[in-house]
Amino acid sequence: MFETIADYIHRTNASIDLGPDESLIINQLWNSFPQSVTFIPGDFNVSMTQAPDWARNPIMQSFIYHFIRKSKKHIENCEWQRQDPLQLPYSQNQRSKKLIAAWKDSPPAHYDMGEILRVEPVANLLAVYPELTVSGTWKHGLAINEDRLTPDDDTSIPYLMLSRFLIRLGVNARRFQLNTAGSLAND
């Protein structure tokens, strides 16, 4: 593979900027062995600068974490090995603890949380059960905004709160199905 890359560089007099080494290797692998290349999901690799809520959460839920700049201060608190029983990202949440205790090793394939007020129970279920899909209804309205706020929240604007909710789910957000009730235009 490296000989092929070097030969190409020599033939073109390196007149083409081919990119960094890892790009050259990936391109060569894809061109030579496409049947052997398996792409991993993007959530395999998490940048803590792009996911600051996850930098503060010490429970690893992805395979590779990149602690960059300000997020480096969270490295020492990170739990690098998952334990048995699995740690919960939000260990104080009673709703998820009750469901986990009831389901044990046999969760349903799908669970509807109903109206969603907080991210904690959803995040815990998705962290413990990697095959589980969770759905919930996001209800827009000022009456329940106060119930959703946590000390980390920096907004009470409903559509921004939904964004924060999904960010806090991190890599597990892809297994969350959002149901909506009401409309943002009415808030």
pLDDT in 10s for each residue of the chain, 187 residues: 777 777 777 777 766 656 666 777 777 788 888 888 887 776 677 776 666 666 666 677 667 777 777 778 888 877 776 666 677 888 888 999 999 999 999 999 999 999 887 788 998 999 889 889 999 987 665 444 455 555 554 445 555 677 778 877 877 888 899 886 554 444 4
Quote the CA–CA distance of 160 and 163 in Å, as a whole number.
Answer: 5
Give the 3-state secondary structure of residue 133: strand
pLDDT in tens, 146-185: 555 555 544 455 556 777 788 778 778 888 998 865 544 4
| pLDDT for residue 142 | 46
Residue with tokens 């962290």: 127
Distance CA 101, CA 114 (A): 19
Any idea which residue has 């892809």 for tokens? 174
Supply the pLDDT for residue 97: 94
Question: Rounded to an integer, what distance in angstroms lies between the CA atom of residue 100 and that of residue 5?
Answer: 51
> pTM of the full predicted structure?
0.62
Residue 130: predicted pLDDT: 84
What is the enclosing helix (H) or strand (E) of 136? strand 133-139
Please tell me the predicted confidence (pLDDT) of residue 30.
83
H or E element in which residue 99 lies: helix 94-103
Residues ≥6 apart with Cβ < 8 Å to 88: 59, 96, 97, 100, 124, 127, 128
Reported as half-sphere exposure (CB side, CA atoms, 13 A), residue 24 has a value of: 16
> What gap in Å lies between CA 127 and CA 120, rounded to an integer?
11
